[in-house]
Structures are given as C-alpha cells and as structure tokens.
C-alpha cells in the first residue's frame, strides 16, 4: 500500500504491554509482549486488544497504524528469554501473521507496522552503538519483519540518535519505509540529553533523510509540546503519548497503572496541533488503551 501520512490523520494503538499486564493480568518478562504468542490465553488477549482498536478506527472512520508485538523481539532481549536466533526470527514473522489475521475481514484501513525497540533500556541511553553497529545489530529483526510483509518499520522509544540511525539504515537496506520515534524526558530532551531537533538532524544527516518522518513516544504531551517546533517543518509528524505525566524514573518505580484522564489527555494531545509540527499521526503508549484513542479521535474532530 502507499503510505499517505502527510495527507490524512492516522491513529495508532496504545500501550499494549501495560494493557496486557494491568488489565489482562498477564506476565510479560522483560516487558516482552511477543511471549504471549506462546499460549492460548495470551493469544486471546492479543486478539481482543487488536479488535478494540480496529473497532475505534472503523467507528471514527480513520486509518490506523497497528504494531506487531515485537518491541522486545531483538537479539539481546530474545537471548535473555532463551530464544535462539532462528526462534526469534520466527517470532517476528508470526507476529506479523497474527496481526494480519486480526485485521482480516475488517473495514478499517490498517498500516501493518513492524515494531523495533532499543537494544537496551527504553528509558536510559546506557551503552551506545555507532550507526553502523546499530544497523548490523537490528538488521536480522528488520529483515524478518520485512520478509513477513510489514508496510512500515517503526523504531519506537529511541533514546539516542545513533541507534535510531542504524535502524533506519537497516530498514532502507530491507526496502521498507521507516518511522523513527524518540522518547524524551520531562524537559523535552532525549535520555541521552540531546535536544529533539539535534537528534532529528543527526539521523537525517547520517541516513540521507531515510526516515519518512519522526515521532515522539512514551512521554506525556506536557513534556514535549514546547520542542515540537524545533525540528524542520514536516519532519516530526506523530506522537504516541503516555497516560501519566510522571517521569520515566517515577514510572519505573510505579506498582499501579496510572491511566490519567482519557478526556483531558485527548484535549492535551489535540492541542499539540499548531505548535510548529505537522502532526498527522496520533496514538498512545504506556497506560493508554482503546478508550484513550477513541477520546483522542473525538478531540481531533472525528
């Protein structure tokens, strides 16, 4: 399919991991949602998750980007959980097939997105890689997702520019469009302390502007609204927000889910339009579910 993010509003899904853990009572070791594919209870919960977002998209008449459950399905995380390289490649392929099956027969226009997460912690930059090393590390997962037929690679919760550039290079080599999404701290800078605009400029410079656009995810709109105008026009096109306004450190320590107020959050996200970025992709991250996305669609006028 032809991706038309610049032409119309797209929704995304929300916080799958927090939904499965706090609403469905499933155990996700290392926050790895792909593990639910191993059992019928997990597969049923995942099917219900996709169904809820497809219903929102159909009701609101908006296209939706749905991610595979592969944010933690990279080599290091898979090895920690006992998966061989061959088993991990199969997990990535199966995740695409599961999502396509969930969308079969539905009227919603869906962009099937292959989710790729950071090699390390999603909140801390930690040990870093050069772009070439990051490309080589992420290439097996990107290639497995591409071979399974994803229409987009989504690099989510990127904490520093070099790893984001490496994923973009791997996606370019695999022939799949890529969107890069950075996470930010409460002051709007990346966990690496780099400003958002500098990170976007660096990835563009190191990849020949390979990403089709950039996003911000796993942060509350009050954390980054003031920096959306800093990157060049049209480069930041989407947001996937946390329900909670807590910092990453506070969320790491939390034992209960902070869902915030879906209506208030929706108004805050809708209010990001006109802040300097050409936003057309709107969705959720930790703590959000289909109710938040439905409220957001309504706040956007749909």
pLDDT at residue number 1: 65
pLDDT at residue number 121: 87
Burial class (CB in 10 A: 0-12, 13-18, 19+), 283: buried
Spell out the SS3 assignment of the chain: CCCCCCCCCEEECCCHHHHHHHHCCCCCHHHCHHHHHHCHHHHHHHHHHHHHHHHHHHHHCCCEEEECCCCCCCHHHHHHCCCCHHHHHHHHHHHHHHHHHHHCCCCCCEEEEEEECCCCCCCCCCCCCCHHHHHHHHHHHHHHHHHCCCCEEEEEEECCHHHHHHHHHHHHHHCCCEEEEECCCCCCECCCCCEHHHHHHHHHHHHCCCCCEEEEEEECHHHHHHHCCCCCCCCEEEEEECCCCCCHHHHHHCCCCCCCCHHHHHHHHHCCCCCCCCCCEEEECCCCCHHHHHHHHHHCCC
pLDDT at residue number 123: 81
Q: Are 265 and 239 in contact (CB under 8 A)?
A: no
Choose which CATH entry (3.40.50.1100, 1.10.1200.10, 3.40.50.280, 3.20.20.330) describes domain 10-299: 3.20.20.330
pLDDT at residue number 122: 83
What is the pTM (predicted TM-score) of this model? 0.96
What digits encode the pLDDT tens for the residues 76-111?
Answer: 999 999 999 999 999 999 999 999 999 999 999 999
pLDDT at residue number 2: 77
So where are the chain's domains? 10-299
Q: Are 54 and 106 in contact (CB under 8 A)?
A: yes
CA distance linking residue 43 with residue 221, whole number of Å: 32
Within 13 Å, how many C-alpha atoms sit on residue 259's CB side? 13
Integer angstrom CA distances of residue 83 from 69, 74, 90, 91, 254:
15, 10, 10, 9, 29
First to last CA, the chain: 23
Write out residues in the chain with pLDDT < 70, as ranges: 1
Tokens of 122: 């999603």
């Amino acid at each position: 399919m032809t991706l038309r993010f610049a032409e119309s509003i797209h929704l995304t899904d929300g916080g799958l991991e927090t939904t499965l853990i706090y609403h469905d009572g499933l155990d996700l070791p290392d926050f790895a949602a792909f593990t639910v594919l191993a059992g019928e209870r997990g597969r049923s919960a995942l099917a219900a998750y996709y169904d809820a977002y497809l219903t929102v998209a159909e009701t609101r008449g908006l296209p939706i980007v749905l991610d595979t459950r592969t944010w933690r399905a990279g080599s290091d995380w898979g090895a920690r959980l006992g998966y061989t390289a061959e088993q991990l490649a199969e997990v990535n392929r199966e995740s695409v097939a599961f999502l396509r099956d969930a969308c079969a027969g539905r009227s919603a226009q869906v962009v099937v997105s292959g989710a790729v997460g950071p090699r390390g912690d999603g909140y801390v930059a930690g040990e870093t890689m050069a772009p070439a090393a990051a490309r080589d590390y992420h290439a097996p997962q990107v290639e497995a997702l591409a071979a399974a037929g994803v229409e987009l690679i989504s690099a989510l919760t990127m904490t520093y520019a070099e790893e984001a550039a490496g994923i973009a290079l791997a996606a370019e080599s695999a022939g799949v469009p890529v969107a890069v999404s950075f996470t930010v701290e409460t002051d709007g800078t990346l966990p690496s302390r780099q400003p958002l605009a500098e990170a976007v400029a660096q990835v563009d410079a190191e990849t020949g502007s390979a990403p089709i656009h950039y996003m911000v995810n796993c942060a509350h709109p009050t954390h980054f609204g003031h920096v959306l105008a800093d990157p060049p026009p049209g480069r930041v096109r989407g947001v996937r927000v946390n329900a909670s306004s807590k910092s990453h450190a506070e969320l790491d320590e939390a034992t209960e889910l902070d869902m915030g107020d879906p209506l208030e959050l929706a108004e805050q996200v809708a209010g990001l339009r006109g802040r300097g970025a050409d936003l057309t992709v709107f969705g959720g991250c930790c703590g959000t579910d289909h109710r938040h996305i439905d409220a957001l669609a309504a706040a956007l006028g749909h």
